[in-house]
């Protein structure tokens, strides 16, 4: 078994040689390497993500089973939004003006749900009267809320 047969790609074998070389150069580029490196996660990253997922699951359970927890988190978020502004606390770009107004007035519910872009669990604010709209809490505040409301084991 020669070098060529082991390393060849059937798709690349059917392209003219200068096209093959362009593709190979692009795949070996520093940009391609960086993009690949960003996708690869080390054990520390995976452990951090797992711990975060577990904490969010614990928070979700608490919000569903302990009404005072939901109220306490809503109140903390309401205070932070009044003090720092909605855009500092939430990813509120996709909210309608009515949805933003409701949240700014403290008329919202809080839950753990899938983030609209990443589809990972996140703390979400949902304006009253429009359950289709949701605004994820920014990571900095989400981590703070999880630290405040999830019991350490």
Q: By residue range, what is the domain housing residue 28?
A: 3-39
* Continuous H helices in 66-138: 67-84, 86-89, 97-104
Q: How many domains does the chain have?
A: 2
Residue 27 pLDDT exceeds 80? no
**Residue with the larger pLDDT of the pair 149 and 24:** 149
Six-digit token string for 52: 């975060």
**Residue with the larger pLDDT of the pair 19 and 99:** 99
**Mean pLDDT for the chain overall:** 83
Same domain, 132 and 76: yes
Cα separation, 120 vs 48, whole angstroms: 14
Structure confidence at residue 98 (pLDDT): 92
Same domain, 64 and 89: yes
Same domain, 48 and 33: no
**Residue with the larger pLDDT of the pair 41 and 111:** 111
Same domain, 24 and 55: no
pLDDT digits (tens, 9 = 90+) for 79-127: 999 999 999 999 988 899 999 999 999 999 999 998 888 888 999 999 9
Structure confidence at residue 32 (pLDDT): 66
The model's pTM: 0.67
């Amino acid at each position: 078994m020669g070098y060529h047969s082991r390393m060849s790609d059937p798709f690349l074998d059917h392209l003219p040689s200068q096209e093959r070389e362009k593709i190979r150069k692009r795949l070996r580029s520093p940009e391609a390497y960086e993009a690949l490196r960003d996708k690869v996660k080390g054990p520390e990253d995976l452990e951090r993500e797992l711990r975060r997922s577990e904490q969010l699951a614990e928070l979700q359970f608490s919000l569903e089973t302990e009404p005072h927890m939901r109220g306490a988190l809503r109140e903390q978020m309401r205070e932070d939004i009044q003090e720092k502004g909605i855009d500092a606390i939430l990813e509120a770009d996709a909210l309608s003006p009515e949805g933003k107004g409701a949240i700014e007035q403290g008329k919202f519910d809080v839950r753990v749900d899938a983030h609209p872009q990443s589809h990972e669990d996140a703390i979400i604010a949902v304006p009253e009267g429009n359950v289709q709209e949701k605004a994820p809490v920014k990571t900095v505040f989400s981590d703070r809320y999880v630290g405040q409301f999830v019991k350490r084991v």
